[in-house]
Amino acid sequence: MSLYDSHKDILDRAVKALHERTFWAQYPEHPSPKIYGEDADKLGQEKFKALMGKKYDELKQADPENWIGVEESPYLQEPLNIQYPAFSVDTLISRSEAAYHAWRKVSAEDRAGILIESLERMKKRFFEVAYATMHTTGQGYMMAFQASGPHAADRALEAIASGYEELGRFPATQYWDKPMGKFNIQLDKEWRAVPKGVSLVIGCSTFPTWNTVPGMYASLITGNPVIVKPHPGAVLPIALVIAELQAVLEEQGLPVDICQLAVDSFDNMITKELAEHSAVKLIDYTGNSAFGDYLEGIAGKAVFTEKTGVNSVILDSVDNIDKVVQNITFSVALYSGQMCTAPQNFFVPESGIKTPDGVVSFDEFAQKFADFTNGLVENPKAGPYVLGTIQNKKTLGRIDAAKEMGGKVWLESRTLENPMFKNARTATPMVMELSSAEKDKFAEELFGPIALLIKTKDTQESVALAKEMAQQHGAISCGAYTTDAETREMIADEMSLAATPVSFNLTGGIYVNQNASFSDFHVTGGNPAGNASFTNPEYVVKRFTWVGIRMPAEAKA
């Protein structure tokens, strides 16, 4: 039985889920022993620890020209000392070009089978991937497991399903018969989906698999060989994924260089050299806007970016103010605000927030925000694990810079001791008040645990400012709280014009930060926060070209 036949049911259900947009997940998000095995967690942790201080030799890429590894654990604040096989740009490109001609000849069905098989094998390593993610990104354990394991695998499967469906949108062949009066013109027609060529996927430091696998698998399902260039500080999680894929490729008699890992170091980065190479036709990127803008400006490439944005929450009226504040403060604290979907600007009318029990004034709201944040971070069973750690030391500098903005500080940021890792690099959320007139202070992304409470004239100004931030600086998420139907429609309409999705009235266990595979489009591609979306049809169709071939045919009955 072929891998396609083995996994056809998974593929069919994934394609069905694309259309229905209801909840569906191939990979369960809870690290339950009943699902993954009684010893899966323990074995995953042991395997991760066994990799530290050694050369990572699972990749099939032959004849390394060097060994490089500069990862540091934000929990230990010590190097992992894992070394990865490194290659020159010329070697990576030449191997990828050679693999291209083998991979493009593989049918879409067989590609899908191979790629899904790699995800099924990745599933057996979710715990190992989780610990690798913890100790490269600083995410808390549960987020590291869910985001880099099941959620990433589902996003990859979504890209496979989307690509597979688009490749089958048109018939491969057709007999064409056009009546011309006394005679007919008859042609045999054929259409080929021709892959664009070498694909470069540039990873980020905070979500090294979740943000990498969509572009990686979208290019692979459409027949393009892929070079994955991870962030130097977060290599291991995606290396584990690539190792499983390369093993499947080798077993199928295909070149392992169909998907290569390309490592570098902070003092000798190869990203620009790869991106500017004439052989590279596709680029996927997650990261800061300055580098994303540079990539989008390179001629002759199809570029898919997710960049920085200024995410807003609009507060007008609520049913229960405590449930709302509990929800939004958790959103700020989650992974210390180091998420592209994390809220930053909280727009509150100077007249306060309407509730069934009366109006909550701006100051009352701000105090609740500070108190609920403190309550969360000081909870020993929640705070350290929700916050995780600070991945990049520059984020600490960003917090210090924010203190100099001049607004009223409702809550200072401070370090929080992690009971399991005494050296963990931590920072609790800082909460500051600003006025709507201080636009220059909140019109940029302040990546990290920074919440700005912005006093506006009214809800209309709140919406106008949120829309302006999205249109001019980009936004990936927006939260809104209102009990009025007309206001809700006004917010939805205005933010839609800014190509920004809105989450209304979230409380409980669902947060503005979260996006669901097969249902939510991640980034719209319609504002400066990025030009692509996980996973709409454009995300895959731009990776190949339909080419028609026709010739005269004999008349057929």
Tokens linked to 281:
């036709």
Closest Cα to residue 13, out of 164, 236, 222? 164
User: Structure tokens of 552?
Assistant: 């005269």
Give the DSSP H/E element, type plus range, for residue 101: helix 89-103
Average pLDDT in the chain: 97
pLDDT at 520 over 90: yes
Mean pLDDT of 336-353: 97
Instruction: Answer yes or no: pTM beyond 0.85.
Output: yes
Question: Domain segments of the chain: what residues?
Answer: 3-20+28-172+197-307+532-547, 312-504
> Residue with structure tokens 């006394």?
182
Q: Which CATH code of 3.50.50.100, 3.10.20.30, 3.40.309.10, 3.40.50.970 fits the domain covering 312-504?
A: 3.40.309.10
Question: Per-residue pLDDT tens for 75-130?
Answer: 999 999 999 999 999 999 999 999 999 999 999 999 999 999 999 999 999 999 99
Topology of domain 3-20+28-172+197-307+532-547 in CATH is Aldehyde Dehydrogenase; Chain A, domain 1 (3.40.605)
| Euclidean distance between CA atoms 149 and 238, whole angstroms | 10
Cα separation of 228 and 242, whole Å? 9
Interval 362-390: pLDDT, tens:
999 999 999 999 999 999 999 999 999 99
pLDDT at 218 over 70: yes
**Which strand (E) or helix (H) includes residue 99?**
helix 89-103
Lookup: tokens for 421: 């890792």
What local confidence, expressed as pLDDT, does residue 556 receive?
A: 56
Which uninterrupted H or E stretch holds 194?
Answer: strand 184-195
CA angle 494, 499, 501 (to 5 degrees): 80
Confidence at 554, pLDDT banded by 50, 70, 90: confident
How much is the pLDDT for 311? 98
Spatial separation of the C-alpha atoms in residues 59 and 70, rounded to whole Å? 18
555 band by pLDDT with thresholds 50, 70 and 90? low
Q: For residues 234 and 205, give the distance between their C-alpha atoms in angstroms, rounded to a whole number.
A: 5
Adjacency order of strands within the sheet including 226-229: 259-261, 226-229, 198-202, 280-286, 302-306
- Characterize the bridge pairing of strands 503-504 and 478-481: parallel
Q: CA 37: distance to chain centroid? A: 28
CA 500 vs CA 23, 84, 329, 374: distances in Å: 22, 39, 21, 30
d(CA 304, CA 57): 31
pLDDT for 213: 98
Question: In the predicted model, what is the mean pLDDT of residues 494-509?
Answer: 97
Mean pLDDT, residues 290-300: 97
Q: What is the pLDDT of residues 445-489, one digit of tens each?
A: 999 999 999 999 999 999 999 999 999 999 999 999 999 999 999
